[in-house]
């Protein structure tokens, strides 16, 4: 054909540029530019991946060595020392009633029969607890010593139960805490109630004497002593006005007791009252606080 539009019946027309051959049909795949661009890019990515992994391995190796060095370095052991058992002592005055507050710290309460030994350095505070009967010299009211019922009776409605090292105070003719104290090897005794739920409780004794009480104050258990002779009414009212939630009486007057507190890192022991002898005091009993 001499012209593109000139075609005979026995001829076929090939569409394309007659002057320039078709490159796609003529060049093999490995001679195309975009093929090598893709290959070059994949090689570059592979090299980058290998380099990155090598660097990460070196960093990991360096981290492992660093950890080993830290662990192998001698470390001084940390020693946590518990605070020694102590008694915080504070004086205060309410309604002209002079009082001294004793707050045991890092000590647990328990009951004991007989005078506590001052040579026992684990004891930090001691007050006489239950009264002794005048007729038979036995403990007055229900009394449980480490789960053993030593005395029965409810002549006084106030009570103190010590179960699992915790003191519970209250007033009731009957309380399940008595049975719980026997079942859990706890302690229990009865005394005059002084304060119940923040309100003073009236009692019959009208004489004046030095007074002691076991109190719940601001969620803590404290013992309180009057520094002068007071009626039971005035003493109980002063405790209620101080903010005591619950309180029972402890043996007062010349009852024996002691406190061992820290003063400039030196234990200081203060005693009060008198140590009595004779059959009348064979069952003298105490609530004491012992170092944990």
Q: pLDDT per residue over 141-199, tens digit each? A: 999 999 999 999 988 999 999 999 999 999 999 999 999 999 999 999 999 999 999 99
Is the model more confident about 284 or about 6? 284
Is the model more confident about 12 or about 37? 37
Nearest to 256 by CA among 275, 238, 283, 243: 275
- Could you read off the pLDDT of 44-75 as tens digits, one per residue? 777 766 666 655 555 444 444 333 333 434 44
Dihedral angle of Cα 233, 289, 115, 252, to the nearest 10 degrees: -10
Residue 15 has pLDDT above 70, yes or no: no
- Could you read off the pLDDT of 238-289 as tens digits, one per residue? 999 999 999 999 999 999 999 998 655 556 899 999 999 888 889 999 999 9
Nearest to 208 by CA among 188, 169, 234: 234
| pLDDT-above-70 percentage for the chain | 74
pTM above 0.85, yes or no: no
Is the model more confident about 124 or about 49? 124
Q: Quick one: average pLDDT of 72-97?
A: 72
Beta-strand pair 143-145/158-163:
unpaired
**What does each C-alpha distance from 23 to 35, 39, 286 come to in angstroms?**
15, 21, 114
Is the model more confident about 277 or about 200? 200
Spatial separation of the C-alpha atoms in residues 184 and 227, rounded to whole Å: 37
What are the DSSP E strand ranges found in the chain? 86-94, 97-105, 107-113, 123-128, 143-145, 148-151, 158-163, 166-171, 187-191, 193-196, 199-200, 208-209, 212-217, 220-226, 230-231, 244-250, 257-263, 266-272, 285-291
158: Cβ contacts below 8 Å, ≥ 6 apart = 169, 170, 171, 190, 191, 192, 193, 194, 201, 248, 249
pLDDT averaged over the chain?
83
Spatial separation of the C-alpha atoms in residues 49 and 103, rounded to whole Å: 71
Residue 222 has pLDDT above 90, yes or no: yes
């Amino acid at each position: 054909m001499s012209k593109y539009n000139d075609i005979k019946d026995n001829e076929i027309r090939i569409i394309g540029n007659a002057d320039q051959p078709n490159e796609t049909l003529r060049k093999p795949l490995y001679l195309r530019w975009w093929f090598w661009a893709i290959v070059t890019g994949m090689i570059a990515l592979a090299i980058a991946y290998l380099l990155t992994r090598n660097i990460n391995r070196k960093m990991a190796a360096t981290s492992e060595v660093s950890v080993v060095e830290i662990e192998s370095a001698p470390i001084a052991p940390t020693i946590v020392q518990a605070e020694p058992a102590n008694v915080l002592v504070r004086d205060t005055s309410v309604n002209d009633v002079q009082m001294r507050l004793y707050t045991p710290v890092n000590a647990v309460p328990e009951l004991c029969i007989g005078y506590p030994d001052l040579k026992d350095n684990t004891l930090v505070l001691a007050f006489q607890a239950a009264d002794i009967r005048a007729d038979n010299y036995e403990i007055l009211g229900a009394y449980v010593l480490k789960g053993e019922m030593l005395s029965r009776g409810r002549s006084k409605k106030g009570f103190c139960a010590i179960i699992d090292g915790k003191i519970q105070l209250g007033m009731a003719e009957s309380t399940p805490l008595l049975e719980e104290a026997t079942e859990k090897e706890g302690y229990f005794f009865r005394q005059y109630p002084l304060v119940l739920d923040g309100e003073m409780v009236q009692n019959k004794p009208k004489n004046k004497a030095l007074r002691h009480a076991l109190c719940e104050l601001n969620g803590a258990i404290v013992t309180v002593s009057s520094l002068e002779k007071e009626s039971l009414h005035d003493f109980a009212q002063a405790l209620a006005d101080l903010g005591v939630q619950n309180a029972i009486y402890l043996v007062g007057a010349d009852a024996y007791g002691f406190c061992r507190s820290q003063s400039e890192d030196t234990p200081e022991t203060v005693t009060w009252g008198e140590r009595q002898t004779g059959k009348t005091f064979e069952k003298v009993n105490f609530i004491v606080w012992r170092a944990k």
